[in-house]
Amino acid sequence: MRKIGFDAEKYIEEQSKFIRERINAGDSQRLYLEFGGKLVHDKHAARVLPGFDENAKVKLLEKLKNDAEIIICIYAGDIMTSKTRQDFGITYDLEVLRLIDTFRKYDLAINSVVVTRYEDAPAVNMFINKLERRGIKTYKHYFTKGYPTDVDTIVSDEGYGANPYIHVTKPLVVVTGPGGGSGKLATSLSQLYHDYRRGTKARYAKFETFPIWNLPLKHPVNIAYEAATADLKDVNQIDSYHLEAYGTQAVNYNRDMEVFPVVRRIIEKITGKEEYKSPTDMGVNRAGFGIIDDQVCRDAACQEIIRRYLIAECDYKKGKISESSRERSKLLMKEVGMEVEDRKVVQPARDYAEQKRNCDERYENVVVMAIEMPDGTIIKGRSSRRMVAAAAALLNSIKYLAGIDDAMPLITAQVLQSTQRLKTDVLDSDRSSLNCEEILIALTVSSTQNPSAAIAAGKLGDLKGCKAHCTAILSDRDEQTLRALGIDVTSDPEYMTTNLYNN
């Protein structure tokens, strides 16, 4: 049984109540609520707050759906550079489509998509055409003239007034996006400006899970947020505005702290009154009140910091991040007193690979994956001519969970050979070793004739939440398959071969 440190039901109840209070406060008719972080499938929150429902935020909105509609923002530059959401391995433009589908499943009203800081580029225009031809209303917002210093220009027809008004009707307008830097704040404030010009009183607030304002600055959960945003150079800080105004400490982060004086002046210029005294005042996050076991959350956060460092090492090897981002990840890991080997699956994978190399020269390039079972047992698998290490580890793991002897084959040699022939002779692949997806298909085929294979296949769902580590960088397809199974996987920053293209 995995330890629980967070009460998801209590959190959803507390959070929905607090948002309703903010909607009904004062004499405003509408609240623009900027949703930072991941609105759906927030796997980071689920990892650092064991017990957190990764879809808690969308379930929270489901409680408010009669009063809410959603605007999704995406920065044009992220479309042009094919920026990727790390935990799903998909680009931000595809993540917008996935978000729309998810919101529809929860019967949430989608108002529109806004392309922020619009640029006339083929990839951007193709994305807009794709949405509009599927019936999704799309708006173009431009860089705000005068931002960030000239408030008089920002709050004018040349600034926010240059953007088209997004027609909204409900009292709660959720402004979200696929990730940081999507333009959610600018879109919210632009709407605030247009509403006041139209005689509608509106307010702005922010919902960001991390950092958690009522945890200590150096709490591992808050440091894990810095590790998750190392490429953005986010740094947690004591909210000095909140301390001065109320005499109590609260945690925020550098970008919110830096932009707050400007945001406060913009809101005052639009509304004619002082709305907030601190960045913390702008927030509605109640995640800290859902923690029921602080030590469990501390331990989980430390594991997440190690995980982020290992990912940073691989991303650096792939050329995705700078050396400074990699070094920052390492420093954060050291700050909580952790080493890579404190991730329980790392050393067993490395040791087994070394053992195989030492015993036989045929294993010189062997790759190993280790997976930690729910009961703490470490199961390993190595690469071979028939399958990659991750596939071998998967088969060995479900054998263990099903109580099947390790020596018993789940997939017949004939099925393996015919699948390999299909891969090499028909699909013209350079590699005969079967990847995770191909092995799972072969397992499914075998399960129609082999009862043991059927029993083992039924245990795949039990791997959700397990940690794994591979001694070489995984292929994109294997990484996606493991993610789909819910396995939290990391790798050493080494490629399986010296090939540049077919790696």
Residues 6+ away with beta carbon under 8 Å from 438: 391, 419, 423
Q: Which domains does the chain have, with CATH numbers?
A: 8-209 (3.10.630.10), 344-491 (3.40.140.40)
pLDDT digits (tens, 9 = 90+) for 178-222: 988 899 999 999 999 999 999 999 999 999 899 999 999 999 999
pLDDT digits (tens, 9 = 90+) for 352-361: 999 998 887 7
| Residue 281 identity | D
For the segment 95-104, the average pLDDT, to the nearest whole number, is: 94
| Residue 23 identity | I
Q: How far apart are CA 490 and CA 503, in angstroms?
A: 17
Q: How far apart are CA 299 and CA 50, in angstroms?
A: 10
pLDDT category of residue 395 using cuts at 50, 70 and 90: very high
Instruction: State the pLDDT at residue 465.
Output: 92
238, β-bridge pairs = 251
| Residue 334 identity | K
Instruction: State the pLDDT at residue 396.
Output: 97
For the segment 52-76, the average pLDDT, to the nearest whole number, is: 93
pLDDT category of residue 27 using cuts at 50, 70 and 90: confident
Tokens 């990840």 belong to residue: 329
350 CA to centre of own chain = 28
Nearest one of 324, 300, 252, 387 to 45, comparing CA atoms: 300
The answer to whether residue 500 scores a pLDDT higher than 70 is no
For the segment 243-259, the average pLDDT, to the nearest whole number, is: 94
Tokens of 181: 């830097």
The answer to whether residue 430 scores a pLDDT higher than 90 is no
Tokens of 444: 């499914």
For the segment 400-419, the average pLDDT, to the nearest whole number, is: 92
For the segment 414-442, the average pLDDT, to the nearest whole number, is: 90
The answer to whether residue 501 scores a pLDDT higher than 60 is no
Nearest one of 308, 319, 106 to 210, comparing CA atoms: 308
Tokens of 54: 């990764």
Q: For helices 436-447 and 413-421, what crossing angle results, to 10°?
A: 130
H-run or E-run covering 262: helix 254-271
The pTM of the full predicted model, rounded to 2 decimals, is 0.89
Q: How far apart are CA 218 and CA 450, in angstroms?
A: 53
The answer to whether residue 44 scores a pLDDT higher than 80 is yes
Tokens 């009707």 belong to residue: 169
Q: What percent of the chain has pLDDT over 70?
A: 98
Beta carbons of 35 and 184 less than 8 angstroms apart: yes
pLDDT digits (tens, 9 = 90+) for 362-382: 778 899 999 999 999 999 999
Instruction: State the pLDDT at residue 498.
Output: 64
Q: How far apart are CA 139 and CA 112, in angstroms?
A: 7
Tokens of 131: 């949405």
The answer to whether residue 40 scores a pLDDT higher than 90 is no
pLDDT category of residue 499 using cuts at 50, 70 and 90: low
For the segment 297-322, the average pLDDT, to the nearest whole number, is: 96
Tokens 């499943």 belong to residue: 105
